[in-house]
Structure 1
């Protein structure tokens, strides 16, 4: 018997009044208790706001990204303990890896994106500056800063580690403290994960708190700087979303709910094709992984009418090979549902589905369980249904049995398949197995608005594809309608859920000071040595080098054309070029101008500049003809530390002609010694 503690306001608190028993999914025996009605929600929120928030906001995005990476590596060292504890949830080792390894991997992705895609600063710049005045001295841009409140995460039972870490990683990267409340049925696994992170000493005081059991009146105490992220059933989401205080205070509420996810077998994927075999494999995996207890599991299977019998036969044959039993056994392929109550709920939903569909595989009253007592544990077999008339059906499109249950249904053509897909009224994911690009396009155009993710797979992608049911941290996870109408993950998009986007307006100098990125029109520093002679740490934003002019001759243009092989008519044929609406006649190559620009601003001696790593945002603005002159303005726009030896400098480069007209503009990237 384990006591599952809560971590509140810096202290671990044992279960108390209102504690609930937690049973093993394998044996049905009580193994733990969790919950304490005496938790002080106000104190927890105050602790996070007073300590966790300020400490996290004092760190830069890169500081927080490094913290996430260290946390992930620390958890990696202790993942076996999380595996061992997870068996009582009914999950197999393969299931644990989805949960534990998937959660750790998600943290590592956010750590990487934080270092690569966000600044080593406190303000995230969303888009380029906008010129709001005629002379360029009144500008605007959008910035994002951390919410100054608390993120409350309410998670489902099926992924006690991944479900927490996929919310926690973007939250901490944003600079916001979190209070985590997992589902009670599996909170003992989450508790160990939280203990590991807190014991590492990597988290600032107040950055993470943990509730085992109920939240009490916490939601009633939230304000406009707080956020709630929920994963679970649609019914529970509706109750939480309707909290008067959440609505009154416009508290951000993100919901990721259960949904009737579907998979479509393309009309080209007939028996004997790689796509047909892939389809059967994907459906079987999604029905049995985590005993079907995945928010992304396939609930509806859509197949061309002519392939119904073939799919029933092939899928039944594959499902029959699924060994059900004690998840600790190596040969077990599907363990138990999380609890007896969950098993009863699934069986109740099966009764509803049975009114519209025939069960063609799996008998809940007659199946074998190896190494465990079938009646004491929360075991069920995979169950496949066939709905012959999906147009007349209702329950198969609105009832989710959250277990190893799926319903097969025929479609006549792609338009019919699209209507069936959309009958689910919003899902997290729909998959289409096809090798026909036009099939993929038609189904996308007809149903993308109803799904948070569309997953296509075929013979070309199958070797690398991660599977229908695998949300990836790089891509958004969520969906419209029944799926909750929210989003999580999606790289930096997920971080933005815990930040406020603000439009700031002012002079270029003001915008430069706020965003720590030089804005054209801001003050230039020109009284120093050539910036290429100065080390990364010595450079200041706005340091600028103005080059002398260089005339571009006709000989230059022709030499460049013959040397490079770029003899495009605009550079070599005056009459043809003049007939072009963009040119007055023969003009210089754009890349010739870039080459001349480098020659004008480069300081050739060995020095702090180690490498040119590329350029961004290149625009050619005006043509340059023979006889025109060009000069360059090179300014330090932004600096990003990379390691102890060097950092990245982003230079703003503008080329102008003899009339002071901008002819080209771009950002140059160099690595400079620290």
Structure 2
């Protein structure tokens, strides 16, 4: 029987999509086509490549209603939020805008006697392994700058969002990007690892689990193929004594619960100055109780099911373990909670870092809240984690936020906001979150290699 990938819809557990995977030989052929097409693609001007990417983005923008409905079926996000085109367009447009400057040679000397410069040249074929939780935005983070920089791209999208890869390929091809320059493929894990180990790619970008990132690095071991990873997160929020309480509640609770908590940089633990703790918790509980759990195709639904029953099972296990160890759950079960993918959003107090819910990635609609006495205690707790993607500080004091941020082991520091990716800033992490440099000018540096020229004229 042909090996297939199945997207199980979280709405009702039905098979939404099923696609056969490529055999290893078929996958090798796809990589060969991408490699053969790369020289001609790189020979085009940066402006032409950027214009084609812009045109592809515009094609995607013609179908935002379809995007929202298909995402609801695939991964459960409510249609009321309208898909992902806003962030998708913002990121691709910014990378197109800065391309000429970011990829310009660094000229050291241009005289009658010598030309010395450093050029940025494409790495070749870029493999993008994209996740399901923000399937358009996470893919475009690498796809757009990789193509603009002169690479060809092979996209392997998550099984939960198979349709997204197809839609992206349709849009890029309709815009005029050659089919061999941008390919969407269906691969199993073994074939993906085999291609990496055979040095079929000049660069691998992976967004997903820590285990998945290890598998990518293991496959690349000894090949010297660069692997960029964005893996797990357990992002903290800190509410200082001088914070705007309502803004902190609205910002952090949205960061914890939006997309059913399935955000790479979602807030998973909150530390509140003891002077604000009781008031914060009271307001946070009211905020969560106002959510409406339900079918994501219903425009009244504000929080949909988790993308997969097994993801919800892990969140339930963390909550149950915490309660057994002394934590208090503040939200009574919602009537729509079915014990499966539809999960009551939860706030836990009385939590400690001995509990998995405050250490391990939850990636679901649960957050633990702890009181702290000062900045030092907050920093110690925020850093007491194996992950390091983002951290959010709510305060009226920007200088204090920067001082605290300098002490935090994280890739991004936010003040008075969270759960956002600014395309002008480098998207990166540390510790078990992995290593990479996405978007910004550094994103172009990652997707190209430096090549030095010393041309002696006399």
**Common fold: TM-score over 0.5:** yes
Aligned 1:574-613 pairs, distance under 5 A = none
CA contact under 8 A between 2:358 and 2:368: conserved in structure 1? no
The answer to whether the 8 Å contact 2:323/2:329 transfers is: no
Give the whole-Å Cα distance in 2 for the aligned partners of 1:110 and 1:368.
45
Q: Secondary structure of 1:217's match?
A: helix
| Unmatched segments (≥5 aa) in structure 1 | 1-15, 270-274, 458-466, 510-521, 523-674
| Partner-residue secondary structure (3-state), 2:300 | coil
Relative distance call for 1:451 and 1:356 in structure 2 (3 A) is: farther
Shift of 1:414: 1.0
* Residue in structure 2 matched with residue 169 of structure 1 by the alignment: 144
| Separation of aligned partners in 2, 1:387 and 1:377 | 26
* Gaps in structure 2 of 5+ consecutive residues: none
Deviation for aligned residue 1:213: 4.5
Larger RCO (CA within 8 A; separation ≥ 6): 2
- In the TM superposition, 1:247-396 aligns within 5 A as 247-269=221-243, 275-354=244-323, 356=325, 358-363=327-332, 366-369=333-336, 374-375=337-338, 378-387=341-350, 389-390=352-353, 393=354, 395-396=356-357
- TM-score normalised by the chain length of structure 2: 0.92
Q: After the TM superposition, which of the residue ranges 226-235 and 394-403 deviates more from structure 2? A: 394-403
Alpha-carbon deviation of 1:406? 1.0
**Which residue of 2 is the match for residue 419 of structure 1?**
380
Classify the secondary structure of the residue corresponding to 1:71.
Answer: helix
The aligned counterpart of 1:485 is 435
Deviation for aligned residue 1:349:
2.8
> How many Å apart are 1:45 and its aligned residue?
0.8
Asked whether 1:435 is paired with 2:404, we answer no
* Mapping 1:61-210, distance limit 5 Å: 61-88=46-73, 89-97=75-83, 99-115=84-100, 117-118=101-102, 124-126=104-106, 128-129=107-108, 137=113, 140-147=116-123, 149-198=124-173, 200-210=174-184
Once the two structures are superposed, what CA deviation does each residue of 1:207-236 show, in whole Å capped at 9, x if it has no partner? Answer: 111123425434333428611100011122
CA contact (8 A) 1:62 1:118 kept: no
Q: Which of 421, 425, 432 in structure 2 is aligned with 1:475?
A: 425
C-alpha displacement at 1:31, in angstroms? 2.1
Cross-structure match for 1:498: 447
SS in structure 2 of the partner of residue 161 of structure 1 = helix
Report the CA distance between 1:50 and its aligned residue. 0.6
Deviation at 1:331, TM superposition (A): 1.5
Query: 1:62 & 1:192 partners in 2: Cα distance?
Result: 24
**For 1:349, what is the secondary structure of its paired residue?**
helix
Matches of 1:506 and 1:483 in 2, distance apart?
A: 42
1: CA distance, partners of 2:339 / 2:70: 20
Cα gap change, 1:429 to 1:95, in 2 (>3 Å)? farther
Q: Which residue of 2 aligns with 1:517?
A: none
Query: 1:542 is matched with which residue?
Result: none
SS at match of 1:26: coil
Shift of 1:79: 2.2
Contact 2:127 2:155 survives alignment (8 Å): yes
Aligned to 1:456: 415
Is the 2:80–2:300 contact (alpha carbons within 8 Å) kept by the matching residues of 1? no
> Is the partner of 1:299 in helix, strand or coil?
strand
Higher helix share: 2
State the shift of 1:394 in Å. 5.5
Shift of 1:353: 3.7
Q: 2:45 aligns with which of 41, 60, 82?
A: 60
Q: 1:62 Cα shift?
A: 1.1
Which among 220, 226, 243 is matched to residue 194 of structure 2? 220
1:441 CA drift (Å) = 3.0
Q: CA deviation at 1:401?
A: 1.1
| Residue 35 of structure 1: how far off its partner (Å) | 3.3
